Structure 1
Amino acid sequence: MIDYLTAGESHGPQLTAIITGIPAGLTIDPDKINAALAERQVGYGRGLRQQIEHDTVQIESGVRHGKTLGSPITLVVQNRDHANWGTVMDPFGKAGREDAKRALTDPRPGHADLVGGMKYGQSDLRNILERSSARETAIRVAVGNVCEQLLAALDIRLCGFVRQLGPAKSSVQEPLNVKKLTKGIQNDVRCFDPAMVDKAHAAIDEAKKKGDTLGGIIRVVANGVPAGLGSHTEWNTKLDGQVAGAVMGVNAVKGVSFGIGFDVASVPGSQVMDEITWDDGDGFSRSSDHLGGFEGGMTNGMPIVVNAAVKPIPTLTRPLETVNILNHKEAKASRERSDTSAVVPASLVIENVVAITLARAITDTFDSNNLIRLQNQLADYRQELRGY
């Protein structure tokens, strides 16, 4: 089964991930990983740090001659901004003037600063923000892209996009076809509705003038996922719960839903449940996808539809009121270099954590030591489902 661990601080020398459980024999294209990393750094509303970092991946283990070995894969993304922080972030250096200058004692409301400092007993909240920073999502995108390459080899594809950015909302019903979605979101807001682009630009520009930030709503669609992943038998085997947990683990996500989301609470069951259909060639299907591809904690063969609500970034250029942790006096929250909105890159990050979770479910269900064996088993399983 696929698992991974990441390490590294926002201004440390590098971000590192170790992935286990990727089948042997998968061809890895580092250019695709680098393209995903580059895509994470663009989007309207991004800040100055993206002009410093030019993220590329180094694959240090688990791949030989372009193919996975079945052993742990080590990925590294260097932090170019570390050159400006070498003394401050030195693991064994002595604290000096620069440390005092860059110490953080005025916690930002809505950030991990204060509660992290309380939990870990820190007098400099930089010891919290360096790891809680969304910079860590760069390495998760690299991990996720490896999993997306595995899923593509199994005819499973995903697309994450923006449905709302601040007050700007999509006014169209986006298709649940990943190919159509991918072609339709080729803009700097990653939204399918062309009419939303200018509205999103205006909303971000207005927020920037006010020293404010904006959140939004993201949707991820996955095609080709077979029915039966996950299980109804125990609470922790329900795959929709695992997906929701993974998405909630992305910085700033405050809500997760599937299909038509929280609208299930306000409409009758006849408009929520997806009626079952039969086709002699394809077997069972549904006439709609209101439940987002899940029933009873298991995939039902329909497109997976995951929605995520992302809060605005806590770092504001017009800081909010806070209290200094050393003297307990009123203060203005600390300012770190930040974005006006990170909703656009978050759509890619969330796409990737969904990919990791689906790849984990696949490798947990089938023999995944070898890619060809996994492909054959999955093909046989799909044929079995069509004949049920």
Structure 2
Amino acid sequence: MLIKGALALLLGLAAGSATAASFDCNKASGFAELEICSDGYLSSVDNVLSRTYQRALAASSESDALKQSQRQWLITRDQCQDQKCLRLAMGDRIQVLEGVIHTEQSKALQAREQSAAAQRQAERDRQAAVLAQQKQQSSQSAQHTSPQTMPSAPVGKPQGASTQRQPQNPVLAWFINGPGWKYTLVLGLLLSAWAVVRHHRGSATIYSDYTDALITNLLPALGIVVGVVCRWLEMPGVVSSISVVTGFVLAIAYAVYSTVKNNRGGLSIFLTIMAKLTLISVFYAVIGLLIASLFNGGTRRKGESQARADARNRRERKATMALITALSAAYSALTVWICRNPKFTSLGECLEFNRVPELS
């Protein structure tokens, strides 16, 4: 601001060093006005100050307050009794007025940006409303034409009975939309903790070795990778779905097989199977949600500029990637910790069934 004021002052002086003061010197009174009229330098500074004041007055949204401020400054200026005091007072006033101009220009720029952002949001809302209206019209036209193409209902069956929506299973609704899944998760975690305690006491075996744990946990990931590759190759969506489901089914089948092979007693087998399924399900569900959040479109908050929204979305994506890495490392460490034997064995040894369970 100081540099801008000094630059404006120098330009004004260079443009009209011999210019008269901004007021009528024939009516000058008092030391300050008489000195300004008699000194060419002070006259030029006064002209610069006058032009700056007019610019500030045109840009300001509070012109009355600015006029009152100018009147108060004139009272202060008229108290000067030497040229040094006048130079300092007039230079400081030019800087103050330049600051007013800069502030008002910043406010105007911000208002224009907000107006443009509001217009863009209104345009997006309008397009969304048009799409919603088109979808509604399409569904209404489909409803009007569907009775003509449907086969006639059997005799004795009310017309339109086949189109009635079947009531949802209350148990399934309680599990999906209600707290059922939360109760199931808590129960699974408690049974998993019990299985881990029995595992370290030697009365159960969750994973016999590293190979056993690797097969159980990588089969779902392998199914997901194959599904993604099939999707990338533009195969039918059912192929990708079958690949993912097959990976999880194979993981469950191998978990049951290895549990029955390495444990004795129904309680140990039940707890071990529940621990494996709970840990794998929770891990893949959490990682899946985090990965899905990476591919969601970046959000933009109300009143936030696009540049700030992009920067915040990049920070959130980096934080999500770090969280995925940390959770994967923690889950791998937990899996290694609950392996009975800290070693890798051959695949054939993991698949043979006639071995005696290694229980202490």
TM norm structure 2 = 0.21
More helix by share: 2
- Structure with max Cα Rg: 2
TM norm structure 1 = 0.20
More strand by share: 1
